[in-house]
Amino acid sequence: MKSDQAFPKDGEGGHPALSASLPSLMLRLLVIGAIGFGGGMAVIALMERELVQKRRLLAAEEFLHGVGFGQLLGPFAVNTAFFVGCRLFGPLGGLLCATAFMAPSVLIVIVLSWLYFAYHSIPSLQAAVQGVGPVVIALILAAGWSLGRKAIRRWPAAAVALAALALSLFKVNAFYVLAASGLLGLALGRSRFGGQSSSKAAGCGEGAAPGAAGVVLSSKLSPLPAAALPLEGTAAAGPAAVGGVGLAALSWTFLKVGFVFFGGGFVLVPILHQKLVTQLHWLNNREFLDGVAISNLTPGPIAVLATFAGFHLHGVVGALAATLALFAPAMVLMTVLTLGYGRFKGNERFEDFLAGVSPAVAGLIVGAAFLLGPSALHGLAGWSLMALALMMLLRFKVHPVVPLAVGAMLGAAGWIA
């Protein structure tokens, strides 16, 4: 289904949404998936800029709702890509968009895993990734500014956004922040937040009512573990290394992990460590740490650690099976949530709830920049690069790939510590 219905006027510009084909949307998400270094919020910033500001495929408020829904189970950047695709082209479109977004990271992990197990080394990419850090902070701040302008119209919305920002700095579970904000929206009504009833946009059918979701403010900007480089003493790849684990057992293990993948990000690391190292002995501690390092060298979520483990057991087929199994529960839940959103969008009480959620999401996005800043901004060079990138994004409206490329080159040259 091609989305050719204009959304309501959104933001100060009042521009209607543009139409898009499924292949073009998949291409956009493929590109975002290839350049989205820095973790979930950085990717959300890229999506917001490309799909909301530039392409106007979704209203900003609706995009904020998708970000919130995407953070209940599994990696929320992947879930947000699914939400966008499903809203515009149905569940199959959502699945294809999520796949396109994840494809670059999965491919990179497969290549790096092959190098790791074959040659006990990986390309020296950490310096370039380090240079991207300050640009990622600028991207997150720019997204928070852009979305905040649309979500914060009156003082109750501003108060909710500031409270969400403050609570995020104290690392309060954002599920509770969003749930409380939604309940406040129910109590006060969307008119107190400056919201308006939005007409139903082109959706993807009917289903169960969605629930609020939690935001995980985790980052892939933290330095790699010291044990990650140099890589040496690793076991040979293949099922023989762990007693011939079957493909079905591999898939079932990661499927079960997917059902408890609440919180996303680095929350998955201790879960997989307990399962893969302590219980099943599929990886040793050194291999697991190196797998985390390799996952950090990709633009995708840390969840691609499953791709690394799957490759170790069954090569490319195992990598794909483990990844698919881990993400399957979240995709099913996102289908239900997005279908429900299409059905209940426009319901007065539902819109009141979302009116409280929207400014809270904007506040949490800005809070992410504050939380991630210490790991990304080091010295005058880092702060200067962040300021330059922010000016390029907000003042000159350049495409994010430009400051990202500048940061990568400065990092590779050793100018960004």
Interatomic CA distance for residues 264 and 266, integer angstroms: 7
* Residue 372 structure tokens: 């991630």
Interatomic CA distance for residues 292 and 311, integer angstroms: 14
pLDDT of 15 above 70? no
Mean pLDDT of the residues in the chain: 77
Burial of 261 (0-12, 13-18, 19+ CB in 10 A): buried
**Interval 270-313: pLDDT, tens:** 678 878 888 899 988 778 867 776 776 677 787 888 999 999 99
Q: Residues 301, 92, 2, CA angle at the centre, nearest 5°?
A: 110
Q: What is the pLDDT of residue 201?
A: 38
Classify 365 in phi/psi space as left (phi over 0), alpha (psi -120 to 50) or beta.
alpha
**Tokens 């902070």 map to which residue?**
137
pLDDT of 124 above 60? no
The separation between the first and the last C-alpha atoms of the chain, rounded to the nearest angstrom, is: 48
Position 108: which residue type? I
Residue length of the chain: 417
Higher-confidence position of 16 and 280 = 280
Q: What are the DSSP calls for 214-277, one per residue?
A: ------S-SPPPGGGSS--SPPPSSGGGGT---HHHHHHHHHHHHHT-BS-GGGHHHHHIIIII
Closest alpha carbon to 324 in 144, 129, 98, 70: 98
In the structure, what pLDDT confidence band is assigned to residue 204 with cuts at 50, 70 and 90? very low
CA dist 180 → 177, 361, 380 (Å): 5, 12, 39
Q: What are the DSSP calls for 373-387, one per residue?
A: HHHH--HHHHHHHHH
Classify 6 in phi/psi space as left (phi over 0), alpha (psi -120 to 50) or beta.
beta
Interatomic CA distance for residues 72 and 375, integer angstroms: 25
Q: What percent of the chain is predicted at pLDDT more than 90?
A: 29
**Interval 346-377: pLDDT, tens:** 778 877 887 888 888 788 878 878 877 887 88
**Interval 329-347: pLDDT, tens:** 999 999 998 998 888 777 7
Q: Please tell me what DSSP assigns to residue 304.
A: G
**Interval 239-276: pLDDT, tens:** 444 557 789 999 999 999 888 776 555 557 767 887 88
* Residue 383 structure tokens: 């702060």
**Tokens 């979302």 map to which residue?**
354
CA dist 212 → 122, 174, 350, 358 (Å): 40, 10, 11, 11
Count CB atoms within 10 A of the CB of residue 378.
14
Task: State whether residue 10 is helix, strand or coil.
Answer: strand
Contacts of residue 170, Cβ cutoff 8 Å, sequence gap at least 6: none
Higher-confidence position of 299 and 185 = 185
Interatomic CA distance for residues 407 and 86, integer angstroms: 33
Q: Specify the DSSP element, H or E, that contains 394.
A: helix 379-394
Give residue limits of the domains in the chain.
129-195+346-417, 234-327
Classify 212 in phi/psi space as left (phi over 0), alpha (psi -120 to 50) or beta.
beta
Q: Specify the DSSP element, H or E, that contains 83.
A: helix 76-119
Average pLDDT over residues 389-402: 84
Cβ proximity of 178 and 354 under 8 Å: no
Q: What is the pLDDT of residue 97?
A: 96
pTM above 0.75, yes or no: no
**Interval 127-141: pLDDT, tens:** 766 787 788 788 778
